[in-house]
A = this chain, B = another copy of it.
Amino acid sequence: MAARAPLTREEVLTAAAALVRQDGPQRLTMRKLAADLGTAVTSIYWHVGNRESLLDALVERTVAELGEIRPRGATPAERVVSVARALRRQLRSHPHLVAMVHERGLTERMFLPAQRALVHEVHAAGVRGARAAEVVRAVQFQVVGHVLVERNRERAPAQSPAEEELWDTPTAEDDRALARALAAPVDTERLFVTSVRALVKSLLETGS
């Protein structure tokens, strides 16, 4: 039995990332992590401080790994929408990142990679100054909020009141097509694009 090579901070982070990828941050325990690494629990503390700062470091690392965002499309509005879509795709490809960032109050962080691109496009649309800042922030809240709700619905338990009950005749006001549409599962991708497009259209076309 060769003695274990000395533990490094990077090694701890990588093992923690693997654990989180499988089971989510909730289920990352210091003891399980130590077992995976083949060390004593207490060694981990020497390298990363404690669980809190371990998760901090993990968020930082994962965000840094997200690639740059390249806008696509003919008009500034289209390009803003493409930034929003790209960011959504990035976040969805790291499902637990969203939870980690949310739990740690760092939603701001999730949006940083896209901000530079967004500022550029809003400027290209001729909007500047405080108004431009408002547009950037509106898109930020829209995208991050949507992803949070989306992720949330995915891990939702069976709807507690059945959908049909919710959309009975009085609520739907005799609009059968509406009742049917609301009872059906949401096409979140489509809803996302529709919403962002609508938001951006209004915000970019309104005069100062």
Contacts and interface: CB of A to CB of B under 8 A. Distances in A.
A75 B198 CA distance: 19
A145 B141 contact: yes
Q: How many copies does the complex hold?
A: 2
A138 interface: yes
Contacts of A133: 177-178, 181-182
Interface of A: 60, 102, 104-109, 112, 115-116, 119-120, 123, 128-130, 132-134, 136-138, 141-142, 144-146, 148-150, 152-157, 159-160, 166, 170-173, 175, 177-178, 180-182, 186, 191-192, 194-195, 197-199, 201-203, 206
Nearest to A201: B202
A160 B202 CA distance: 33
Q: Is the interface of A mostly helix, strand, loop or mixed?
A: helix
A142 to B, nearest CB: 7
Contacts of A129: 175, 177-178, 181
B172 A119 contact: yes
Given A128-B177, A195-B142, A137 B186 contact: yes
Contacts of A144: 145, 149
A110 to B, nearest CB: 10
A54 to B, nearest CB: 15
A44 to B, nearest CB: 22
Contacts of A197: 202
Given A145-B145, A156-B108, A130 B177 contact: yes
Contact of A145 (B136, B146, B206): B146
A197 B149 CA distance: 20
A107 B191 contact: no
